[in-house]
Structure 1
Amino acid sequence: MSLNILIVDDHPMTVDSYVNLLSDTEFQKELPIFIKSHNCEDAYNKITFELKQNKNIDFALLDINLPPFKKLNISNGIDLALLVREKFKNCKIVLLTMHSEPLTVDKIIKGVKPEGFISKSDINFELFPVLCKRILDGEIVQSDTIIESQRDLFKKNINWDNHDNQILILISQGVKTVNLPNYIPLSMSAIEKRKASIKDQLLKEKGSDKDLIEKAKNLGLL
């Protein structure tokens, strides 16, 4: 039976390249059915259409940075991945990115648990279909840059959960502490305790939010 493969990237040439590479009979004996998209809104509409047709999406290749669908608060490929995960339980999700900041990578791995997480800088035409085949066959695949990013986090002895990561990332984006409960399902006091713990680990002494973000950036966490 043909695989249904969703491919979302804001560069049409990249989407077409993925299609060509996965159309080889060494990847799948039967030619897959490709669902192509270049932004979050169109991808959402195509996912919804497949659901209405009672069709599965078996494999999803999602770029992380995508034009958002603001109306439904689907900001990027991570939000799309969570939607695909919810609607198609058995779909294998592969996230592709140019970014490898340790905290962002860790947040994505813990939040989405993708079957594949690949830095675009690690792949070429030969390697890409090989990695996709391994993922389809049941392996969890992370490319070298993603693995190194996780190793960097481990070396710094930082093992925060997803909420800790979100606190630091949101503060770096300019969100005030008082507004963090709007983004994270924790009480104000719980957030303040976590923030104090993060400051203690990174600054070893008291400092402002600006000092905290500067230190995280210097460590390569953001």
Structure 2
Amino acid sequence: MNKPLIILIVDDHPMTVDSYSNLLSNNDFQKNTPNFVKSYNCQDAYNQIFFHLKQNTNIDLALLDISLPPYKEFNIENGIDLASLIRKKFTNCKIVLLTMHSEPLTVDKIIKEINPEGFVSKSDINFELFPIICKKIMGGDTFRSPTILESQRELFKRNINWDKHDSQILILISQGVKTVNLPNYIPLSMSAIEKRKANIKGQLLMGKGSDRDLINKAKKLGLL
């Protein structure tokens, strides 16, 4: 007899959390109704993760919205940080990230950092598809929704193949972080960051231009 799955659902919209749990309560997904752990922000989700660790109980599936109220005390800013924590603490947990954002650099960074079993644009799914996707993931498949795949193709088409640190540099600059402060966010020396930044400018601006020019060009290309 199969044990009920323990499924962590984190979204800052309670109706969305309830919708996911209702859809996965169907016998077509699992014979035994899963045990749902519901959270609406990073702090509560963080506490739930460590509660299950202390109880020595696994989390089998984590459904995480990317945009969430942060837990500043422990530098958990969003669903990506929660996914990274779950990867370390529950190595067998299947992670599904759900988002309304599909900027190519952000998508590329998430795939390289987390490599989630599921990566889904909310605009690509409906009530019928959602439990099917989750069942396939629990069966060992990986899933990228059409919008996520198209974002990946955008980078390939533009022949851009940066690693996660290069993408993070550009994303942080677009958020207003000054270059001098980038080592506070990225585990690289200032000289290494400067070299990477020069390489990014070389690809997008032929080596010439300000940070503002760089961000404008990246947005014009649809990368940000």
Give the TM-score category using the shorter length. over 0.9
d(CA) in 2 for partners of 1:112, 1:7? 17
d(CA) in 2 for partners of 1:183, 1:215? 23
Query: How far did residue 205 of structure 1 move?
Result: 3.9
Task: Look up the match of 1:81.
Answer: 83
The match for 1:52 among 33, 51, 54 is: 54
Say whether residues 1:29 and 2:36 are aligned partners. no
Query: How far did residue 216 of structure 1 move?
Result: 0.2
The aligned amino acid for 1:144 is P
Query: How far did residue 210 of structure 1 move?
Result: 0.3
Task: Look up the match of 1:126.
Answer: 128
Residues 12-23 of structure 1: matches in 2 within 5 Å? 12-23=14-25
Say whether residues 1:151 and 2:160 are aligned partners. no
d(CA) in 1 for partners of 2:49, 2:210? 44
Say whether residues 1:142 and 2:128 are aligned partners. no
Query: How far did residue 177 of structure 1 move?
Result: 1.0
Q: Percent identity?
A: 76
Query: How far did residue 179 of structure 1 move?
Result: 1.3
Instruction: Point out where structure 1 has 5 or more consecutive residues left out of the alignment.
Output: none
What's the TM-score, normalizing by structure 2? 0.98
> Residue 198 of structure 2 contacts residue 207 of structure 2 at CA under 8 Å; is this kept in 1?
no
The aligned amino acid for 1:198 is I
The match for 1:216 among 215, 218, 223 is: 218
The aligned amino acid for 2:120 is I
Query: How far did residue 155 of structure 1 move?
Result: 0.4
Query: How far did residue 47 of structure 1 move?
Result: 1.0
Query: How far did residue 188 of structure 1 move?
Result: 1.2
> Once the two structures are superposed, what CA deviation does each residue of 1:40-87 show, in whole Å capped at 9, x if it has no partner?
001111111111111100000000000011111100000000111111
> Once the two structures are superposed, what CA deviation does each residue of 1:99-143 show, in whole Å capped at 9, x if it has no partner?
000000000000011000000000000000011011101011000
Q: What is the Cα-based RMSD across aligned positions, in Å?
A: 0.6
Identify which range, 17-26 or 43-52, moves more after superposition: 43-52
Query: How far did residue 15 of structure 1 move?
Result: 0.3
Query: How far did residue 169 of structure 1 move?
Result: 0.6
The aligned amino acid for 2:85 is L
Task: Look up the match of 1:3.
Answer: 5
Q: Which runs of 4+ in 1 moved over 3 A?
A: none
Secondary structure in 2 matching 1:221: coil
d(CA) in 2 for partners of 1:40, 1:72? 10
The aligned amino acid for 1:73 is N
Secondary structure in 2 matching 1:90: coil
The match for 2:109 among 107, 110, 119 is: 107
What's the TM-score, normalizing by structure 1? 0.99
Instruction: Point out where structure 2 has 5 or more consecutive residues left out of the alignment.
Output: none
d(CA) in 2 for partners of 1:121, 1:187? 39
d(CA) in 1 for partners of 2:121, 2:21? 18
Query: How far did residue 182 of structure 1 move?
Result: 1.3
> Residue 124 of structure 2 contacts residue 147 of structure 2 at CA under 8 Å; is this kept in 1?
yes
Query: How far did residue 150 of structure 1 move?
Result: 0.2
